[in-house]
Structure 1
């Protein structure tokens, strides 16, 4: 083998290794951990106080590509009947009268765009709630990522958004301030 052939062979081998590494650096896929993920809400109670609650059952997947953050995406499904305000009678009232969980058992969010700026970002997507789908923008905060004690790798975020109940067909009169609902999405995923 000549020096030229040896050099060419080494360069070709190095290019193949780099190409394989680049292909392996594609988006990481995560399954949402339902035991460490939930959605909370806060709404005015007729202008007299504030009602806080959460939806306990959340599932879905997301991907994150460190080299191309804009290619990252998420799809989340929420069991609306898992509403929990720490008072069973009120939860039943919310399920039956306001959320109508027999007709609309799930809410979902599917991203359409992700913009990252350091450990913050904006997640645009479609929220389906009470049978209505509307565009929603979620302010995102990266919490952390790393190995867990069970041999897995996790990544977590908190997202916040404010929606109007009336945009989703929930027009019951609860006072003028009660149309606005603050949402918080606490999402922890395990890499697959």
Structure 2
């Protein structure tokens, strides 16, 4: 009887405590996450690409999304535009991957907007330069997966001026000064 009362008291107490954020590892092993980019080419078309190698973690609590965090590190040499010569040119001329092998994003805050949407603010490091970057984040979904785990997925897109990170693309013309970066992540709860 005492054990039953104690167990019921503990259950009642746990219902009053706030939910805890869950920690996730971004699922890059099975290609369920992507870091994509696009930039205008001479103002005539769009060049799209991605970074094939990256890793990261995030923390998410549906009851308190403003307490969320994300930390992503990108292997910049893994740039892939589906054209090997262009990728080599990007690595050597623009990204200078031998000197700056990694880019990263580390959140500082998640802000809930009046419409209920979230905006993440954090430090983005590229080409050895760190600047604050913010972008809206949309929850795609969460739930049990077929392998006995639990997953959550989010997508966000931002744009930034390349020159702010010390990369000279002036020879590509005025239409090629901004890059759009999309982060699509699916994480496995730990």
| TM-score, normalised by the number of residues in structure 2 | 0.89
Which of these two proteins has the greater Rg computed from alpha carbons? 1
Match of 1:82 in 2: 78
1:24 deviates by 7.9
Output the CA distance in 2 between the equivalents of 1:179 and 1:18.
57
Where in structure 2 are there 5+ consecutive unaligned residues? none
Structure 2 matches for 1:18-33, cutoff 5 A? 18-21=12-15, 25-33=19-27
Match of 1:106 in 2: 102
CA contact (8 A) 1:39 1:184 kept: yes
Alignment of 1:16 onto 2:10: yes
SS at match of 1:20: helix
SS at match of 1:167: helix
1:119 deviates by 7.1
Give the CA RMSD over aligned residues: 2.1
CA-to-partner distance for each residue in 1:107-144, whole Å, 9 max, x for gaps?
Answer: 10011111245773111111000000000011111111
Moved over 4 A (4+): 12-15, 21-24
Where in structure 1 are there 5+ consecutive unaligned residues? 1-5
Structure 2 matches for 1:179-190, cutoff 5 A? 179-190=177-188
Output the CA distance in 1 between the equivalents of 2:16 and 2:23.
16
Match of 2:93 in 1: 97
Match of 1:175 in 2: 173
SS at match of 1:103: coil
Output the CA distance in 1 between the equivalents of 2:134 and 2:34.
18
